[in-house]
Structure 1
């Protein structure tokens, strides 16, 4: 008995409490923050054990440095250039929806949902490729190239001689659009502090702007240069939609020029740290601080102190197997060599709670991916048909209403930005309410007996749907770890696009002249609102990791 007791005592000494071991890196980080960054709050969204301990400790220090710096000139400029991603994410799907009637009259293809189908295939591939690429090759190149791809293929699409060519180019421009938000949301989040993460929701105001600009530009061009009916429609008398696509392609290239040549985009510090490039991460923080006319206290020694503390604890316990380290050069090289073994995906399911959260997010994006395009992708088509039923079938009235609906999205973004910071609501509560109301407004739109009533219900839908998307686009990257944030965003976007592909297929079998697609869409939004209450993380007041 004495021998067994002595052996047990020795095993206990050789194998200390795992939580105590993992806490050493965190203690080092908190000590560095307390000494160098004053009373900065460093609570992270994700629970203990969901991240490599050294990665978490270093991310906490970088969060503290960003919070100490505040939301300065660099972040304000970044807000604008990242907003371009939100802008084109809504503008180009609106382009597809707006040109649908004109293109169908000229090319006479059936069903009309085929154009939306080609668009959604491009969006799916783009979301998968660009999201993963941002975790493998870095945020910076993906951030800049998406706009270039959209602009170039958008311009070429205007010269399409037939529907087949247009469908191909729509898929190609959508390939760029599909990667915009997964990448842009990740990079913006990684340059702001926890107290400023509400600005990620405010970015949705650019999303509303995409529909407004598309509607305003299309109104005179398609209205004045479009063919009157299918019987007399030819390329010669139907240049309106082509001028419109040329204009949108040119505008996108202008946004690319501003983003690439005028704004100096740095690589994400957390991304660099996760690739074992601590010195580069510190250098970027100091460059951003200099741009903001601020002197940062962060030094390379702060990050290296975490490594020293961790290695010291390992040397005290040589018998214990070492945990995987995300921050050494060898680990970074190994991850690059094994990037096709789904390491970035496995990291999103590392703990039970993180796996549960990731699964719900993917489910949510899938449901909304079916609900939103099932209605919104055919909104001009539906407005025209319903307007004809209600005695308001002029093209000018359709575009006027479309502009008004787009403008109504702006207060939705502002309301969402305010709501996500309310203690009793937070991200989840505000998102749930906005999503359920979106479904309710769609049901109510089917009761409209006049054109004005239809417009009113659609304005309500615009307010709540923009609020919903604004919060969901912000919430999703907040609850993913930086090392796999691009991949997490890509998985969510892929689910959205896969179900988005189903929308035009369903619409092709359903009669767009009836209210069936509207009922299905409304029911899906309400169901998604219920799922949102099951999400385990509430990021309000906490920094992303």
Structure 2
């Protein structure tokens, strides 16, 4: 790897241009999120050249297709935790476990394992296989879960389908960002519309199945009277299988050019850029010489079997993790985003994972806690997620807000609305506060999911995403443990969750980088 002193030798290299490419005010090669000197200079200049090449090709057919299939990962990431949330009460009624929150704990353990395996793995072995296998794993175990004969069995299947779910966003956000022109990076935020639509679909399917085919509380609950949750997991598993088949059979995914370049495969990186240009009906003037010109005299790029194995062993030694803390500002950025993910990882499931249960128990206190009304209210709450994601996509491009301002404001408001929900005196006011909570939390997640991968350079992007997701899942594991010892019928979990959101929102303001209008390296 070259020293930063070589930076000046490669700062003014030629800019490859595409024929017919779109003009844009964003200079993707030079105006980057991470300033010069923070990462390896040879990689940095090659990344700037690839950024310019992608920007000159523009947003075309390949990226729009990728936008659709990457959206499946966003959808799955929200779909299956909601499945666990919605089947929580029917399963507790049928199997009468001594500690029902163990189901959520099993799910979060699977999410943690998936985030670590797929997130770190995609930086070592590539994005392509993980991109397809995450959805396939989720679909298979989700459908098998319908046959679970006991609470322990459904807990195991919940962990297994969550293993696939845990890899969706670390992998999908990396590969989508690395193919996006800098002028269209806001689409990473807009992708959260799929996250919100998934919540709406899940509750639409759940309402008739769980609303009509579920045992009521305090009744003798037999399997034949409680088939709704089984049909529900089959339906959502089948939907996920369709998404997997579309990805695997109908779409050709290329390995990321910047990932290939970071692995020493410059020729393959150039080939992929030209293939994307061809798919978009354009051509690119990028050549291998453009990338080789970034290498200082005497630079030797090893690419053989033994070198590849050595690099992979270095990956296992956490060299990629150390790179994310190499400078003061990188360390501050990485450390803060990990803490923010951790706080949200505990705060969100501590409330949202038990929301149908809270709706039912508090609704019963208000005199209308029937199963039918519980799932009807869940559907109403879910509809607010779609405008939330769209608003997030709009605000991040406004100079007064940007990524940091939008994320800080929406996260703090999410905590405020949770506190406000404790003042509800009837089911309608409780529903209103929960709708507000879902709106702002969807704005928050829309920005968080797009902002996080932008903060990491491509060679360490999967690792950075994995670290953030791992912090999120580790603290998520704590949520059901807290729920076991804090009565869900009281306001204690709500107060804890609200405080965590507000603290996370304040920490966002201290992040050293703002990515609005800048290209990711």
Same fold (TM over 0.5): yes
Residue equivalent to 2:323: 347
Residue equivalent to 2:11: 26
Three-state SS of the structure 1 residue aligned to 2:284 is: coil
Q: Is 1:250 aligned with 2:238? A: yes
Q: Is 1:224 aligned with 2:209? A: no
Residue equivalent to 1:110: 98
Q: Is 1:491 aligned with 2:474? A: no
1:113-169 CA-to-partner distances (Å, cap 9, x unmatched) read 110000000000100000011001100100100000000000111100101111001
1:116-131 → structure 2 map (5 Å cutoff): 116-131=104-119
Q: Is 1:135 aligned with 2:123? A: yes
Residue equivalent to 1:408: 384
CA contact (8 A) 2:28 2:51 kept: no
1:329 Cα offset (Å): 2.4
In 2: Cα distance, 1:102 partner to 1:35 partner: 57
1:285 Cα offset (Å): 1.1
- Structure 1 unaligned runs (5+)? 1-17, 315-321
1:255-308 CA-to-partner distances (Å, cap 9, x unmatched) read 00001100111111111111111111111111111111111221222112223x
1:81-120 CA-to-partner distances (Å, cap 9, x unmatched) read 1111110111100100100110011111022211000000
Q: Is 1:514 aligned with 2:490? A: yes
In 1: Cα distance, 2:425 partner to 2:482 partner: 26
1:399 Cα offset (Å): 1.1
Q: Figure out how many residues of one structure are paired with residues of the other and give that number.
A: 512
1:26 Cα offset (Å): 2.4
1:389 Cα offset (Å): 1.2
Aligned counterpart in structure 1 of residue 42 of structure 2, from 54, 68, 92: 54
Residue equivalent to 1:5: none
Query: Bigger CA drift: 209-218 or 18-27?
Result: 18-27
1:487-516 CA-to-partner distances (Å, cap 9, x unmatched) read 110000000000000000001100001111
CA contact (8 A) 2:174 2:461 kept: yes
In 2: Cα distance, 1:24 partner to 1:382 partner: 62
CA contact (8 A) 1:26 1:56 kept: no
Q: Is 1:146 aligned with 2:146? A: no
Distance 1:401-1:231 versus aligned 2 partners, 3 A rule: closer
In 1: Cα distance, 2:423 partner to 2:185 partner: 39
Residue equivalent to 2:303: 329
In 1: Cα distance, 2:36 partner to 2:261 partner: 19
CA contact (8 A) 2:455 2:513 kept: yes
In 2: Cα distance, 1:19 partner to 1:246 partner: 55
Three-state SS of the structure 1 residue aligned to 2:179 is: coil
Residue equivalent to 1:274: 262
In 2: Cα distance, 1:231 partner to 1:380 partner: 19
Q: Is 1:85 aligned with 2:73? A: yes
Three-state SS of the structure 2 residue aligned to 1:424 is: coil
Give TM-score, length-normalised by structure 2. 0.95
In 2: Cα distance, 1:211 partner to 1:484 partner: 31
Residue equivalent to 2:197: 209
1:422-461 → structure 2 map (5 Å cutoff): 422-461=398-437
Residue equivalent to 1:479: 455
1:337 Cα offset (Å): 3.1
CA contact (8 A) 1:427 1:538 kept: yes
CA contact (8 A) 1:26 1:53 kept: no
1:184-228 CA-to-partner distances (Å, cap 9, x unmatched) read 000100010111110000011111111111111111111222223
In 1: Cα distance, 2:286 partner to 2:345 partner: 42
Three-state SS of the structure 2 residue aligned to 1:115 is: helix
1:21 Cα offset (Å): 2.8
Q: Is 1:94 aligned with 2:90? A: no
Q: Please say which structure displays the higher CA radius of gyration.
A: 1
Query: Bigger CA drift: 495-504 or 52-61?
Result: 52-61
In 2: Cα distance, 1:417 partner to 1:297 partner: 32
CA contact (8 A) 1:382 1:512 kept: yes
In 2: Cα distance, 1:128 partner to 1:461 partner: 29
1:454 Cα offset (Å): 1.0
Residue equivalent to 1:181: 169
